[in-house]
Structure 1
Amino acid sequence: MTNTIFCATRYGNGAKIVAVEGSFNRGLPSFQISGLANHSIQEAKHRVQSALQSCNLSLPPMRFVLNLSPADLPKSGSHFDLPIALLGALQKSILQKKWFAFGELGLDGSLKHQESIYPLLLQIALQEPKANVILPKGGEEIFSLIPNISLYFVANLSEALELINTQEEREPYPKGSVGFQSFELMGEKYYYLQDFKLDFADVIGQEVAKRASLISASGFHNLLLEGSPGCGKSMIAKRLPYILPPMTLEEMIECAKIQALGNQKIDYSPLRPFRNPHQSASKSSILGSATSTEAKIGEIALAHRGILFFDELPHFKKDILESLREPLENNVLVISRVHSKIEYDTSFLFISAQNPCPCGNLLSLSKECRCQDREISAYRNKISEPFWDRIDLFVQMNEGVDNTKGMSSKEMQERVFEAFRRQKSRGQTALNGKMSEREVEQFCILENECEDLIIKMREKFGLSQRGVQKVKKVARTIADLEGSEKISKSHLIEAFGYRRR
Structure 2
Amino acid sequence: MSKLSKLFTRASTGLDAPLVTIEVHISSGLPGFSIVGLPEGAVRESKDRVRSAIMTSKFKFPKGRITVSLAPANLPKSGGRYDLPIAIGLLIASEQIKPNININAFEFYGELGLDGSLRATEGLLPAIIASSQAKHCLILPSQNSGQYTLVNEAIIYPCTHLLKVCEFLQGVSNVDKLVHNLTDNQPIYHNDFSQVKGQYHAKRALEIAASGGHNLLLVGPPGSGKTMLSERLPSIMPPLSTDKALERASIYSIANKPLDITQLKVRSFRSPHHSSSAVALVGGGSNPKPGEISLAHEGVLFLDELPEFPRSVLEALRQPLENGKIHLSRAAQQTTFPANFQLIGAMNPCPCGFYGNGTAKCHCTSDQIDRYKNKISGPLLDRIDMLLTVPPLPKEILLNQNTDNVENSETIRTRVINAHNIQLKRQAKSNDKLAPDEIEKFTNLNQDNKQLLSSVIDKLSLSARAYHRILKVARTIADLENSETVDKAHLIEAIGYRRFDN
Alignment TM class, shorter chain as reference: 0.7 to 0.9
Q: Partner of 1:136 in structure 2?
A: 141
Q: Give distance in 2, aligned partners of 1:297 and 1:96.
A: 34
- Asked if 1 retains the 8 angstrom alpha-carbon contact of 2:301 and 2:342, the reply is yes
Q: For 2:389 and 2:68, locate their aligned partners in 1 and report how far apart those are by CA, in whole Å.
A: 65
Aligned to 2:85: 83
2:157 pairs, out of 142, 147, 152, with 152
Instruction: Tell me how far apart the structure 2 counterparts of residues 321 and 64 of structure 1 sit (CA, whole Å).
Output: 51
Q: Residues 338-353 of structure 1: matches in 2 within 5 Å? A: 338-353=331-346
Is the contact between residue 122 and residue 254 of structure 2 (CA under 8 Å) also seen in structure 1?
Answer: no
Aligned-residue offset at 1:154: 3.2
TM alignment of 1:49-198, pairs within 5 A: 49-53=51-55, 56-91=58-93, 92=95, 97-122=104-129, 124=131, 129-147=134-152, 150-165=155-170, 173-178=178-183, 180-181=185-186, 192-193=187-188, 195=189, 197-198=190-191
Give the superposition deviation at 1:30. 4.0
**Residue in 2 aligned with 1:409?**
409
CA contact (8 A) 2:55 2:61 kept: no
Cα 1:130–1:435 change in 2 (3 A) is farther
Alignment of 1:229-378 (within 5 A): 229-268=222-261, 269-291=264-286, 294-378=287-371
Q: Return closer, same or farther for 1:130/1:170 CA change in 2, 3 Å cut-off.
A: farther
Alignment partners' CA distance in 1, 2:449 and 2:248: 39
Deviation at 1:213, TM superposition (A): 0.8
Q: Cα distance, 1:287 vs. partner?
A: 2.1
- Contact 2:158/2:175 (<8 A) preserved: no
The answer to whether structure 1 residue 420 and structure 2 residue 415 are counterparts is no
CA contact (8 A) 1:447 1:489 kept: no
Deviation, structure 1 residue 99? 3.0
Q: Is the 8 A contact 1:5 1:87 kept in 2?
A: yes
1:488 aligns with 487
Contact 1:363 1:398 in 2 (8 A): no
Flag the 1:24–1:339 CA change in 2: closer, same or farther, 3 A: closer
Shifted more, 363-372 versus 87-96: the winner is 87-96
Equivalent position amino acid for 1:424 in 2? L
Name the SS for the 1:79 alignment partner: coil
Q: Distance in 1 between matches of 2:432 and 2:372?
A: 28
> How far does residue 312 in structure 1 lie from its aligned partner after superposition?
1.3
> How far, CA to CA, are the matches of 2:51 and 2:374 in structure 1?
64
Amino acid at match of 1:312: E
| Mapping 1:208-227, distance limit 5 Å | 208-227=201-220
Asked if the contact 2:12/2:123 (under 8 Å) is kept, the reply is no
Alignment CA distance shift 1:487-1:261 (3 Å): same
Q: Output the CA distance in 1 between the equivalents of 2:113 and 2:312.
A: 47
Secondary structure (helix, strand or coil) at the match of 1:467 reads: helix
8 Å contact from structure 2 (residues 46, 83) kept in 1: yes
Q: Using the TM superposition, give the Cα deviation of residue 164 of structure 1 relative to its aligned residue in structure 2, in angstroms.
A: 3.9
- The aligned counterpart of 1:460 is 459
Unaligned 5+ runs, structure 2: none
1:185-215 Cα offsets, whole Å, 9 max, x none, are xxxxxxx33x3x2222222222111110111
Deviates more, 1:52-61 or 1:356-365: 52-61
Superposed displacement of residue 307, structure 1: 0.8
| Cα separation, 1, equivalents of 2:26 and 2:371 | 72
Matched residue type, 2:134 = P
Q: For residue 475 of structure 1, what is the aligned residue in structure 2? A: 474
User: Contact 2:36/2:69 (CA < 8 Å) preserved in 1?
Assistant: yes
Query: What is the TM-score when the length of structure 2 is the normalising length?
Result: 0.87
Q: Do the aligned partners of 1:129 and 1:148 also contact (CA within 8 Å) in 2?
A: no
Distance 2:300 2:277 in 1: 19
Structure 1 residue 489 displacement after superposition: 1.8
**Alpha-carbon distance change, 352 to 17 in structure 1, aligned in 2, over 3 angstroms:** same
Other structure's SS at 1:264 match: coil
Aligned to 1:10, the other structure's residue is in SS state coil
Give distance in 2, aligned partners of 1:66 and 1:338. 25
**Take 1:422 and 1:142, find their aligned partners in 2: how far apart are those partners?**
34
Q: Percent of aligned pairs with the same residue?
A: 38
| Contact kept in structure 2, 1:217 and 1:243, CA below 8 Å | yes
Question: More deviation in 227-236 or 277-286?
Answer: 277-286
The question of 1:8 aligning with 2:10 is answered yes
What root-mean-square deviation, in Å, do the aligned CA atoms of Structure 1 and Structure 2 show? 2.8
- 1:115–1:266 contact (8 Å) kept in structure 2: no
- Structure 1's 5 and 443: CA in aligned 2 closer, same or farther, altered over 3 A? farther
SS class of match (2:104): coil
The aligned residue for residue 185 of structure 1 is: none
Stretches of structure 1 lacking an aligned partner (at least 5 in a row): 182-191
Aligned partner letter, 1:199? D
- The normalised TM-score by structure 1 is 0.88
Q: Aligned partners of 1:317, 1:29: CA distance in 2, in Å?
A: 56
Show the counterpart of 1:189. Answer: none
Residue correspondences, number: 484
Contact 1:22–1:87 under 8 Å retained in 2:
yes
Structure 2 counterpart SS, 1:394: strand
Instruction: Give, as a single letter, the amino acid of the residue that structure 2 aligns with 1:48.
Output: V
Cα separation, 1, equivalents of 2:48 and 2:72: 24
Shift of 1:371: 1.2
Answer yes or no: is the 8 Å Cα contact 2:153–2:181 preserved in 1: no
Q: Helix, strand or coil for the counterpart of 2:140? A: strand
- SS of the residue corresponding to residue 236 of structure 1 reads helix
Contact 2:298 2:341 in 1 (8 A): yes
- Answer whether contact 2:31 2:65 (CA < 8 A) is retained: yes
In structure 2, how many angstroms separate the alpha carbons of the residues matched to 1:426 and 1:90? 57
Distance 1:275 1:447 in 2: 41
From the superposition, tell whether residues 479 and 6 of structure 1 become closer, same or farther in structure 2 (CA, over 3 Å): same
Matches within 5 A, 1:27-42: 27-42=29-44
* Conserved 8 A contact 1:479-1:487: yes
Aligned amino acid, residue 377 of structure 1: D
10-19 vs 313-322, which moves further: 10-19
Amino acid at match of 1:180: N
